[in-house]
Chains A and B, each alone.
Chain A
Amino acid sequence: MPEVILDRISKTIQKKKILDDVSLKIDEGSFVCLLGPAGGGKTTLLKIIAGLEVPSAGAVYFGPENVTGLEPYKRDVSMVFQDFALYPHMSVFKNLASPLTAKKLSKPEIERKVGEVARFLKIDRFLDRKINQLSGGEMQRVAIGRALTKEAQIVLFDEIFVNLDYKLREEMRVEFKALVDELNITTIFSSPDPEDALSLADKIAVVREGQILQYGPRDAVYQYPVDVFTAQYCGYPEMNLVDCTVVKNGGELQIDAESFQIPLPRETLAREITPGSYILGVRPEQIRIMEERQENGVVIPGQMVLTEVIGSDTIVHIDVGRHTIQSFVPGIYRTITDKPVYLNFDTKAMYLFERETGAFVARGT
């Protein structure tokens, strides 16, 4: 099972730079998620690995072998496409058998292998059906099945949950994880959804505007984002961001966000910083809402303005003066009280980013 190495890949399509000097090393047998907004180059990156696009510069290696110019049909890669790309004029069986007919296997051999994969994915009942007689979830399974019958070492998945409805997506995600763990293949998965990345992947590569902003183990990307974009993108609901300045007040540093101030004693941040313009970030899931003023951690008084119920959790919007801060609360809350509330979070939950560049500066300890 080879590792996949992308060495300084660039791709320009019709004078538009889609990928700009991207390097990535994907260990054999690992699950990597390319996470980022639409149009960032994720699909192009997958197509380059598959051989469907040829990079304008740079090279692709599978293990020691340079495969940059190799035709897709000669590569040991299979791919599941966003809209499944099933062949509508063929039966489910023929769809699944397509990689095997390409290998010119014998008929009993093909039947055996298709049967195995179909049973594995619980689609053996539909083998005779036409594609347009399948539901979205069934199509998904057939698409995955077709990628599996090829028995490729590297399998690419391009935003495969995007076209599924919410409930099905949750179900498929759980199943998919179990499936990939069992198969022991090198998996590269692209998604615009941080939930996919955080729940499925071993490693996350954050892709934006043709560049990889950050690549690392999923928890490291979540805990130590390299910049404001990654911090905000990798997590749902998004991280609260507030423009602030760090000023010297007497001998001590202090964060001044106009609406509120946070004192910064010496050991609060992991490294020393100088006064200047910053962006303060706190994840909503780290913020508690209290009715009484607390003594521990950071406390900011405010007023509830909105409760937004998502699934069985609630995002509470709290007006703290010039800003509205979101807090993620498990459970469903709909009442908005007129009484003042207090936002409370640990100093550990604070992130500081440079105002100008958005680069990560420090986080609380």
Chain B
Amino acid sequence: MQRVQRESRAYKLFRIVFLLFFIAVFLLPIWWMIKTSIILRVDTVVYPPQYIPKGIEFDGYIRIWKDQGLPFLYFNTIRINILAALLALLLGVPAAYAASRYDFWGKEGGFMFTILSTRFLPPATALVPLYFLYRWLGLVDSIWGLVIAYAGLNLPIVVWVMRSFIDEIPRAMEESYMLDGHSRVAAFFKIIMPLSAPGIAAMFMICNFLTWGEFLLSAVLTTTVPHQTLPIGAAQLEGDIGILWQQIAAIGVLGAIPITLIIVFFQRYLVRGFSFGILK
């Protein structure tokens, strides 16, 4: 008995140390970012680095607010990502429904594969043609241009995940609803949509997560501050006068807040969404 207790105490200690180590590994970069954004500007480049700040200033935040057009960048990032996620869901959920419920020629081999294959190559390979297409359509340097591009990035994932999600909803349920006297469109909105809501919420979160820090498309397709996103704003702080670590870190801190909130709010749907729990 005594021995068992001693072993479990040792195990407990080991577990705490182990977990503290991991917490440190994961929190250190975040601490580093926060710290860099508030220490004195001269201290951002001193050697050896300061782990605990000796002095504090909020110059970085003030400068990005005043000089870098932060309100634009901030607002753009939030609305572009949210709109792109909504657009991907708006197009993707009905497509997933069709892929789940209808048989059409070339569905598995052609349609579903083609959708997924758009993610086989890195977006960089399509950048030049995309730019010319956007210029022709007048979408360069516009909010909607990026919304469409991001929605395009996320659409394949939405279609594939939501398709397997809808596959789990018994056909009999919507068939029954149609026999009650409702149209198929009504069955989609009243049966399929509510029952796949956890999946939709989870995909909304994942879409935001995937495009939040996107740089390449944003860098090429936007040219002026009123249409740019936070990653571009951060990149422009590597300039002639050196790398403005303080301001980059400040953008990092502010940029992390909305996506963290989105994840915290929607993560409970992530587990439910992927375990398809509602019907079982």
Map CB proximity to B onto A133-168 as digits: 1 under 8 Å, 0 otherwise: 000000000000010001000000000000000000
> Which A residues are in CB contact (< 8 Å) with B172?
81-83, 85
Contacts A73-B182, A81-B172, A85-B170; is A98 near B177 (CB within 8 Å)?
yes
**Closest B residue, CB atoms, query A14:** B103
**Closest A residue, CB atoms, query B175:** A52
Map CB proximity to B onto A46-72 as digits: 1 under 8 Å, 0 otherwise: 010011100000000000000000011
Q: Are B195 and A50 in contact (CB under 8 A)?
A: no
Q: Is B112 an interface residue (CB 8 A)?
A: no
Q: Is B262 an interface residue (CB 8 A)?
A: no
Q: Are B179 and A79 in contact (CB under 8 A)?
A: yes
Partner of A88, one of B177, B181, B182, B278: B278
CA distance A99 to B186 in the complex (A): 12
Q: Are B278 and A81 in contact (CB under 8 A)?
A: no
Q: Is A77 an interface residue (CB 8 A)?
A: yes
CA distance A52 to B182 in the complex (A): 13
Q: Are A150 and B176 in contact (CB under 8 A)?
A: no
Within 8 A of A (CB), among B172-200: 172-173, 175-183, 186, 191, 194-195
Partner of B173, one of A50, A85, A102, A103: A85
Contacts A81-B172, A85-B173; is A102 near B194 (CB within 8 Å)?
no
Q: Is B279 an interface residue (CB 8 A)?
A: yes
Closest chain-A Cβ to B121's Cβ sits at a distance in Å of 33
CA distance A52 to B194 in the complex (A): 22
Contacts A85-B170, A88-B279; is A52 near B195 (CB within 8 Å)?
no
Q: Are B195 and A88 in contact (CB under 8 A)?
A: yes
Contacts A81-B176, A83-B172, A87-B173; is A150 near B195 (CB within 8 Å)?
no
**Closest B residue, CB atoms, query A103:** B181
> Which A residues are in CB contact (< 8 Å) with B173?
85-87
Q: Are B170 and A102 in contact (CB under 8 A)?
A: no
Q: Are A73 and B170 in contact (CB under 8 A)?
A: no
> Which A residues are in CB contact (< 8 Å) with B279?
88
CA distance A52 to B184 in the complex (A): 11
CA distance A14 to B191 in the complex (A): 27
CA distance A41 to B183 in the complex (A): 26
Question: Interface centre among B173, B176, B195, by most A CB within 10 Å?
Answer: B176
Q: Are A73 and B103 in contact (CB under 8 A)?
A: no
CA distance A205 to B278 in the complex (A): 38
Within 8 A of B (CB), among A1-50: 14, 47, 50
Q: Is A314 an interface residue (CB 8 A)?
A: no
> Which B residues are in CB contact (< 8 Å) with A99?
180-181
**Closest B residue, CB atoms, query A158:** B172
Question: Interface centre among A82, A86, A98, A146, by most B CB within 10 Å?
Answer: A98
Question: Interface centre among A50, A86, A89, by most B CB within 10 Å?
Answer: A89
CA distance A87 to B176 in the complex (A): 9
CA distance A85 to B174 in the complex (A): 8
> Which B residues are in CB contact (< 8 Å) with A47?
175
Q: Are B180 and A52 in contact (CB under 8 A)?
A: no
> Which B residues are in CB contact (< 8 Å) with A87?
173, 176-177, 191
Q: Is A78 an interface residue (CB 8 A)?
A: yes
Partner of B179, one of A78, A82, A88: A78
Question: Interface centre among B178, B191, B279, by most A CB within 10 Å?
Answer: B178
Partner of B183, one of A73, A89, A146: A73
> Which A residues are in CB contact (< 8 Å) with B180?
73, 78, 98-99, 102, 146, 150
Contacts A87-B191, A88-B278; is A150 near B181 (CB within 8 Å)?
yes
Q: Are A83 and B278 in contact (CB under 8 A)?
A: no
Q: Are B176 and A85 in contact (CB under 8 A)?
A: yes
Q: Are B278 and A52 in contact (CB under 8 A)?
A: no
> Which A residues are in CB contact (< 8 Å) with B178?
52, 71-73
> Which B residues are in CB contact (< 8 Å) with A78?
179-180
CA distance A103 to B186 in the complex (A): 13
Partner of A77, one of B177, B179, B182, B183: B179
Q: Are B278 and A72 in contact (CB under 8 A)?
A: no
CA distance A315 to B107 in the complex (A): 52
**Closest B residue, CB atoms, query A99:** B180
Q: Are B182 and A98 in contact (CB under 8 A)?
A: yes
Q: Are A72 and B195 in contact (CB under 8 A)?
A: no
Q: Are A50 and B278 in contact (CB under 8 A)?
A: no
CA distance A150 to B178 in the complex (A): 12
Map CB proximity to A onto B265-280 as digits: 1 under 8 Å, 0 otherwise: 0000000000000110
> Which B residues are in CB contact (< 8 Å) with A50?
175, 179
* B interface residue numbers (CB < 8 A to A): 103, 170, 172-173, 175-183, 186, 191, 194-195, 278-279
A-B contact pairs, 24 of them (CB 8 A): A47-B175, A51-B179, A52-B179, A71-B178, A71-B183, A72-B175, A72-B179, A73-B181, A73-B182, A81-B175, A81-B176, A83-B170, A85-B170, A85-B172, A85-B175, A85-B176, A88-B195, A88-B278, A89-B194, A89-B195, A98-B177, A98-B182, A99-B180, A103-B181
Given contact pairs A78-B179, A99-B181, enumerate 14 new A-B contacts (beta carbons under 8 Å): A52-B175, A71-B178, A72-B175, A72-B179, A75-B179, A81-B172, A81-B176, A82-B172, A85-B173, A87-B173, A87-B176, A88-B278, A89-B194, A102-B182
* A interface residue numbers (CB < 8 A to B): 14, 47, 50-52, 71-73, 75, 77-79, 81-83, 85-89, 98-99, 102-103, 146, 150
Instruction: Return the 4 tightest CB-CB contacts between A and B, nearest first.
Output: A102-B181, A85-B172, A99-B180, A85-B176
